[in-house]
Structure 1
Amino acid sequence: MGLTSNNIVIVAVVAAVLLFAATIWLWPRLAGRGVTAVLARVGMLLATQLSVFAAFGLFANQSFGFYGSWSDLFGTENEPGVVVDHDTPGTRVRVTDTRHITMDGGSAPRVAGRIDKVNIQGPVSRITGPAYVYLPPEYFQPEYAKRAFPAALVLTGYPGTTEALINGLKYPQNAHKLVKEGRMQPTILVMMRPTLAPPRDTECMDVPGGPRTETFFTKDLPKAVSEHYRVGKQARNWGVIGNSTGGYCALKMAMRHPGAFSAAVGLSPSYKAPIDSTTGDLFGGSERLERENDLMWRLDHKPAPPVSLLVSSSEHGEKNYKDTVRFVNKVKRLNRSGEPIRISSMILRTGGHNFNTWKREVPASLEWLGSRLSDR
């Protein structure tokens, strides 16, 4: 059973309940003072506690998407997969599975849309990454047959699982609802983890001597998706949104590559890359490279790019609140001085660094992002 499957969560919960009941039932029989009775009581308590912790842990992992598989959990997933496409010469997107989703009105693609599970091959970065591509219902309707759609790259945090974007934050479901209500134009969503070289957290960097994650996301991915699906090829057709690490990646890639993305949303983002045991040395000892990936430094020392940005935080519960206010104020000053960069913010009164907070922010963020992308 997979780490995120419903079956394993159910098994863990049932085991915890049965062990708890067995402990209560057998406790009078284990009330003696002998070594055997004491060891039996200790064993029953430990087994019950471990089963309860396991059940809570598995449920939390399924809800918040910390780890996607057993190998991901234990750190044995070390190498990215390499896929060679033999289907169509020159194609960089290989569809490995399709998923029908149910919305109001049914599950037919022309009503609910469709989710393709794909592998995207990056010839420049030499990275191949898995993704889920949500195609809105309009993609399958005759009146849209010749239309090129806008697209948004949707990123999880680290470590994160792509499935959490569908089952937890419900990006396709939110997009479908917004389009139906007339608050968002039909948009293709490319949903991914920012981690393309697991278990390493590359912070969407081109690591010196290491994975070229930034190149994959800003050069390889938009080109590959635009060639395979009816998606616009210009920066005005593309946006990027992410939470936590994915939020930092979104802001950074739009600011550093305005030719790839014209709009970006950072939900609870950081504003510079950390250096810790999960990242290793991202900058190869280069202070210049470290500065250029610091978003505050970029606002002070680099020309402001012609992009629209949205950042979110909360006054109570988020550690990035003060940095978010600083970032917003810096961009506002640049904007007042005539620079082309634009900033919007979403500040909650309370909300922690978790899925419950991001669920509250995703609908408004998608509406904002959709209004800034062009289908032409």
Structure 2
Amino acid sequence: MGLTSNTVLLLSVLFALLLFVGTVWLWPRLSRRTWRAVSGRVGLLLSTQLALFLCVGLSANQAFGFYASWADLFGRETEPGVVVDHTGGAPGPLRVVDTRRVDGGGGRPEVNGQIQKVALSGRTTRMGTPAFVYLPPEYFAPENRTRTFPAAVVLTGYPGTAQALVDKLHYPRTARQLAEDGRMQPMILVMLRPTVAPPRDTECVDIPGGPQTESFFAKDLPDAVTAHYRVGRKPGSWGIIGDSTGGYCALKLAMHHPEVYAAGAGLSAYYKAPTDPTTGDLFHGDETLRNEADLHWFMKNRSAPDTSLLVTSSKSGESNYRATLKFIDLVKATNTTRISSIILESGGHNFNTWRREIPPTLEWISGRLSNRS
């Protein structure tokens, strides 16, 4: 039974209820002042509390998609590597491993679109990762067989799961509905974790002597997707969206690589790469690399990039509110970079808040991308 299984959650709830009933039933028998009775009371209380915390933890993980499996939770990543088939000629950088329907839609992709699970392999960085690709219904229409589409990379937070972008944040379903309503153009979405060297949190940095995560997102990923799908090849065809860590990555990649990403949206983003046990030493004493990973520093000390940025926060409930206002002021002072924002009255660092921000974010990024070949 997996970590996100409803059966596991149900069993944990039943176990907590049984412990509670057992505690009430046995408490009179343990009311004596002997060491055995005291130990029994302590054991029952601790067991009941631990069972309750387990229920809350499993529920929170299901709601927010922090960890995908027990191995992921305990730091033993078991996601298989990218399979290279040597019997079918030269392997490509992208391989489709499964397909599924868009949530709430029928089985015909030309009517409801399609979600494809893919394995990505970086040509230059030699890094591989799974991802989900949403293809809109228009992609399958016979009259559009030569048409190209804009694409947006969508990133989770850390640790996060790509599956949560589909099942919890509903990016494909939202994009399809917005396009049907005429509020955005049909777009391809490439959904994945920013952690392409699990379990390490690389913060989308090219780590000296380590994973070249920024290069993977700036070159390998667009190259792989463009080689497999009908994505526009001219500047302005790509955008990037993310929440939390993914939001920081989205803003940084759009700022560092405006020739690739014409627009970047950071939902509840922060603006400086942290250093903690999950990241390790990201910069190895390279002060230039450290400074350029600080988006406030970059905007003040480097030429303003020709890209469009969107930031989100909440007046109440978000810790990045003041930093976001400061970032907006820095960008507004330039004549090149364009800045937009979504500021809620209240909202936390959670899926519920991001689900409120995703529809306008998709509309915003759609209006800034081109579908030219």
User: Normalization by structure 1: what TM-score?
Assistant: 0.93
Structure 2 residue aligned with 1:218: 218
- Tell me the distance in 1 between the aligned counterparts of 2:229 and 2:120: 12
- Tell me the distance in 1 between the aligned counterparts of 2:6 and 2:95: 28
Structure 2 residue aligned with 1:96: 97
Shift of 1:244: 0.8
Structure 1 residue aligned with 2:128: 128
Note if contact 1:83-1:128 (Cα within 8 Å) is conserved in structure 2: no
Structure 2 residue aligned with 1:156: 156
Greater Cα shift, 154-163 or 294-303: 294-303
2:95 aligned counterpart, secondary structure: strand
1:309 aligned counterpart, secondary structure: strand
Shift of 1:28: 4.1
Shift of 1:33: 4.8
2:261 aligned counterpart, secondary structure: coil
The one-letter code sitting in structure 1 at the alignment partner of 2:42 is: V
Residue deviations 1:302-324 (CA, integer Å, cap 9, x gap): 22221111011111222211111
Structure 2 residue aligned with 1:350: 346
Note if contact 1:78-1:197 (Cα within 8 Å) is conserved in structure 2: no
- Tell me the distance in 2 between the aligned counterparts of 1:192 and 1:289: 25
Shift of 1:220: 0.6
Residue deviations 1:65-115 (CA, integer Å, cap 9, x gap): 1112211111122898343244552411111222223425x3432232221
Alignment of 1:3-82 (within 5 A): 3-77=3-77, 81-82=81-82
2:334 aligned counterpart, secondary structure: helix
Structure 2 residue aligned with 1:256: 256
- Tell me the distance in 2 between the aligned counterparts of 1:56 and 1:235: 46
Matched positions, count: 371
Note if contact 2:84-2:91 (Cα within 8 Å) is conserved in structure 1: no
Give the 3 Å change call, closer, same or farther, for CA 138–271 of structure 1 in structure 2.
Answer: same
Residue deviations 1:199-231 (CA, integer Å, cap 9, x gap): 211100110000011111110111111111122
User: Normalization by structure 2: what TM-score?
Assistant: 0.94
Q: C-alpha root-mean-square deviation of aligned residues, in Å?
A: 1.9
2:333 aligned counterpart, secondary structure: helix
Note if contact 1:154-1:190 (Cα within 8 Å) is conserved in structure 2: yes
2:345 aligned counterpart, secondary structure: strand
Shift of 1:36: 4.1
Residue deviations 1:2-51 (CA, integer Å, cap 9, x gap): 11222222222222223323333444454455444443333333222222
Identity %: 59
Structure 2 residue aligned with 1:192: 192
In the alignment, does 2:363 pair up with 1:367?
yes
Name structure 1 gaps, 5 residues minimum. none
